[in-house]
Amino acid sequence: MGINAIIMGIWAAGGTGAVASPWRLLSTETFNTNPAGKYSIRSESPSVSWDQTNSRLVLSNGTSQGFIAWDALGSFAGAVAFEIDVLFNSDGAVRKHFGMFCDSGASGIKGYRLCTLDNTVVFSRWVGSVETAIGTFISNATFTTGNTYTLRFERSRSNNWTAYINGSPCPVTFNDTTYGAIRPGFFVYGCSVYINELRIYDYVAV
């Protein structure tokens, strides 16, 4: 069975987000308290609200690029991993376009984006409003509204970027050194999603 088939099966079943050593869990955000003041909008005024009853962040946007930076813990240099549990709630634009943003901490859109788009998982670098495609992690994925996905971005000490979906690595890795210190964030376009949990890891030599 090929790696894409394995990943597709895991997607269909849902993942746990469990990660083994040498990554050490630094912080977990469960959104059980009001997140006001912990994030900033980087572009296009996406809607961000707090669902207190279900302890989750609610993100939605029209057909524009919506970037949100999570500022609560600042930025991280070196090897770091960001991971989110995201429920794909609705898809008004029918583009299946949501994901993570590794924000540089500067104003505007400056950082890396890992996102779904139609039936792909893509990686790109943003400098202001200019996007540079770095590559496609997966080209034949399936995303379904109502399902929860665990998205994970790892940057190694040598600046290699690896993506994981529901705990399974995507087949390819990319290298980029444009941004040093980064902080986690979110991306949404033409749809609504629930961010149920955010986890941050650092790398510990073993």
pLDDT tens for 1-15 read 333 333 434 333 344
Token pair, residue 91, equals 């898809």
Buried-exposed string 121-152: b where 16+ CB fall within 10 A, e elsewhere: bbbbbbeeeeeeebebbbeebebeeebbbbbb
pLDDT at 2: 38
* Three-state DSSP state, 6: helix
The mean pLDDT of the chain is 89
As a whole number of angstroms, the distance between CA 28 and CA 197 comes to 7
Token pair, residue 205, equals 């030599």
As a whole number of angstroms, the distance between CA 97 and CA 113 comes to 11
Q: Is the pLDDT of residue 37 over 90?
A: yes
pLDDT at 20: 52
User: What pTM was computed for the model?
Assistant: 0.88
For residue range 161-193, what is the model confidence (pLDDT) as tens digits? 999 999 989 888 999 999 999 999 999 999 999
